[in-house]
Chains A and B, each alone.
Chain A
Amino acid sequence: DADVTQTPRNRITKTGKRIMLECSQTKGHDRMYWYRQDPGLGLRLIYYSFDVKDINKGEISDGYSVSRQAQAKFSLSLESAIPNQTALYFCATSDPGGADTQYFGPGTRLTVL
């Protein structure tokens, strides 16, 4: 079984809709992250959380919000989706004792029409 899972894996939605992407992990890591990947731009950090009570903005947090419901769950919301949020979204976890090696989920491909 995968250590980091993401749901849904693919989603097509319309402009203005609210979307939630969910991430769960069984690695027991405190740190969790959300990234987006666009062709030619590489991975960019949206939000990260070092523990359940800690939420931090990343490089591109505008238009997104997150919720850390438990150590194992970290969800990303798009309150009102827009077409330029079409991208591949990755959740990741890390253990600071392991040099913050990132363990990624399989990704969610989101298309906003």
Chain B
Amino acid sequence: RKEVEQDPGPFNVPEGATVAFNCTYSNSASQSFFWYRQDCRKEPKLLMSVYSSGNEDGRFTAQLNRASQYISLLIRDSKLSDSATYLCVVNMGSGAGSYQLTFGKGTKLSVIP
């Protein structure tokens, strides 16, 4: 059973393009949601948290749809430096002190000159 499922990659896009990734999660009681970025052979790093109202950070926009249990990441005006693997992460724990951070397998993005 796949608890956090992401679009299969790789996505190959030209510079300047807009690209969107989707991620679905299985537990409707999930509490918090994140997108992490992982460069090749490096550690994952937080890109942005995802809030119920949606949130934007520069060229990046994240949205949450609780009813359909999916989150999305939109990257506008893609740069070569955006090339990486993007990990969808969901905390499926409930209640104080619980922890069930589940990582998706990641979607690889390659931005082409």
Would you call B104 and A42 a contact (CB within 8 A)? yes
Question: Cβ of A41: which chain B residues have Cβ within 8 Å of it?
Answer: 105
Interface residues of B (CB under 8 A from A): 32, 34, 36, 41-46, 49, 87, 89, 91, 97, 99, 101, 103-106
CB within 8 Å of B: which of A33-66? 40-45, 48, 50, 56
Would you call A42 and B103 a contact (CB within 8 A)? yes
Residue A1 CB within 8 A of the other chain: no
Interface residues of A (CB under 8 A from B): 40-45, 48, 50, 56, 90, 99-102, 104-107
Would you call B103 and A43 a contact (CB within 8 A)? yes
Would you call B97 and A50 a contact (CB within 8 A)? yes
Main secondary structure of the interface of B (DSSP, over half): strand
Complex formed: what's the CA distance from A105 to B34 in Å?
18
Would you call A101 and B43 a contact (CB within 8 A)? no
> In the complex, which of the residues B43, B101, B104 contacts A105, with contact meaning CB atoms closer than 8 Å?
B43
Would you call B49 and A99 a contact (CB within 8 A)? yes
Complex formed: what's the CA distance from A102 to B90 in Å?
12
Would you call A45 and B34 a contact (CB within 8 A)? no
Would you call B99 and A100 a contact (CB within 8 A)? yes
Question: Cβ of B104: which chain A residues have Cβ within 8 Å of it?
Answer: 42
| 16 A–B contacts, CB within 8 A, in A order | A41-B105, A42-B87, A42-B105, A42-B106, A43-B44, A43-B87, A43-B103, A99-B32, A99-B49, A100-B32, A101-B49, A102-B36, A102-B46, A102-B89, A102-B101, A104-B45
